[in-house]
Amino acid sequence: MGEPQQALPAPAVAAGAEPGTGRVAVLTNPTAGRGRHRGLLTAVVERLYGHGHEVRLIDASTPEEAEAACHAEVAGGAAAIVAVGGDGTMHRAVQAVAGTQVPLGVVPAGTGNDFANQLGMPADPLAAADLVATALAEGRSRAVDLARMTSPDNQVRWYAAVLAAGFDAVVNELANRMPWPRGPRRYDVAIMLELARLRPRRYTLRLDGETRQMDAVLVAVGNTASYGGGLRICPDADPTDGLLDVVVGGQLGRAAVVRLKPKLYRGTHLAHPKVTSYRAREVVIEVDGIVGYADGERTLPLPVTVTCVPGALRLL
């Protein structure tokens, strides 16, 4: 997709601004939302230009290149990163801005957009772009929590929405290995295959130092409420309370898992007798054979320690 970074000509500097200030890096994923917003980028850039910002497009051929380019932009003094895409695009940008004063703007253009929806961003991408551009021009941002994952060998990944650490993570892992079918059908097939061999796994959870052992099918750790395009797995999660919500689905059979899905969209699954929720500042998850998926992206193999870091993200 060309060079990792592409500089656009800067517009006239806004009155009162100093030359060279206010550079905004824009990360986009043209395949987000199955490509239905391909023409969006020009409109987003025009809105940023209209408020006097120099804009640099981050053009990368892989998620890893995109993430590295975001890190380079932050290290190089970018005034903000704007992610145009879905939760996966946002996830890559978060790795660079987490724990810094560089704000993140999110223009939802993906399939699910769970993080943007939970934070009250307009569903219309152009309305969201206007909001981000205005916030940049006025110097407005708000602090929200992030979750920091740490592996036993001290690898660190950040996430903004939900960590899947059970059946849903296993489905994602299988779907990503399948060469066929393509598109959403791949996940449907993966769900059917994993349901056929569904079994509870033995988990050890340490919640703020208190150890619990359990057999479970579903385990999710949420900074915000939803994942997967509106599944409210952690319906009470609040990204400003300094806590993580942990939802555990115990020894659920195949039929129970299928019946639970409509309740997940409503967030009423917590009433199920085999579903339990907890809150903690730090969560250690130990289980064999699972790779965690956070913000819909493959992250770290379990075990991991997940810590809520209050105010770690400045959100435009």
Q: Provide the pLDDT for residue 34.
A: 55
Phi, psi of 230 (to 5 degrees): 110, 10
Q: Provide the pLDDT for residue 257.
A: 94
**For range 151-155, the mean pLDDT:** 98
User: For the segment 132-148, what is each residue's pLDDT rounded down to a tens digit?
Assistant: 999 998 999 999 999 99
Token pair 């969560």 is at which residue?
A: 283
Q: Which residues contact 48 (CB under 8 A, 6 or more apart)?
A: 24, 26, 55, 82, 129, 132, 133, 136
Q: Provide the pLDDT for residue 246.
A: 98
Confidence of residue 38 (pLDDT cuts 50, 70, 90): low
Confidence of residue 37 (pLDDT cuts 50, 70, 90): low
User: For the segment 160-180, what is each residue's pLDDT rounded down to a tens digit?
Assistant: 999 999 999 999 999 989 888
Establish whether the linkage from the previous residue to 303 is cis, with ω within 30° of 0. Answer: yes
Q: Provide the pLDDT for residue 118.
A: 93
Q: Which of 70, 54, 50 has its CA nearest to residue 62? A: 70
Mean pLDDT of the chain: 89
Q: Which of 122, 143, 156 has its CA nearest to residue 47? A: 122
User: For the segment 101-133, what is each residue's pLDDT rounded down to a tens digit?
Assistant: 999 999 998 888 999 999 999 999 999 999 999
Q: Provide the pLDDT for residue 11.
A: 31
Establish whether the linkage from the previous residue to 181 is cis, with ω within 30° of 0. Answer: yes
Cα gap 129→96, rounded to integer Å: 20
Q: Which of 209, 258, 228, 268 has its CA nearest to residue 247? A: 268
Q: Provide the pLDDT for residue 7.
A: 34
User: For the segment 286-310, what is each residue's pLDDT rounded down to a tens digit?
Assistant: 999 999 999 999 999 999 999 999 9
| CA within 13 Å, CB half, 110 | 26
Query: Higher confidence at residue 101 or residue 46?
Result: 101
Q: Provide the pLDDT for residue 49.
A: 80
User: For the segment 6-21, what is each residue's pLDDT rounded down to a tens digit?
Assistant: 333 333 222 223 333 4
Confidence of residue 27 (pLDDT cuts 50, 70, 90): very high
Pairing of the two strands 104-108 and 80-85: parallel
Q: Provide the pLDDT for residue 187.
A: 84
User: For the segment 215-245, what is each residue's pLDDT rounded down to a tens digit?
Assistant: 999 999 999 999 999 999 999 999 999 999 9
Confidence of residue 31 (pLDDT cuts 50, 70, 90): low
The per-residue DSSP string of 127-139 comes to HHHHHHHHHHHHT
Pairing of the two strands 218-222 and 304-315: unpaired
